[in-house]
Amino acid sequence: MSDCLFCRIASGDIPAETIYENEQVLAFRDINPQAKAHALIIPKKHLDSLNDLNQTEDGLLAGLLRAAQDVAKALGIDQSGYRLVSNCGPDARQSVHHLHFHVLGGETLSDRMV
């Protein structure tokens, strides 16, 4: 999708600080970090949110979750702990309508975002 910010990042049209990449998944640093360590993990294929996944995409979902381990390790937060979050829909304040996970850590996180 040419108007999707994350699709443009995945295609290389918009630069990002890549942390992890494979054929299906891209992870990069968030430009507006909400914690000392904050990265985003996206599928290269456009999906609006978790609600758009179907059973044929179970492998993609597993790949996104597996990438979280590698991203946390690359950020140096795999042992101290991290939070994995995906906002889905307006009440969750999803601001970019491309499925993504936030990896947050590097400090003691607020218990308000559980």
Residues classed as catalytic: 100
CA separation for the pair 44, 38 (Å, rounded) = 19
> Among candidates 78, 77, 97, 79, which has minimal Cα distance to 88?
97
Residue type, 9: I
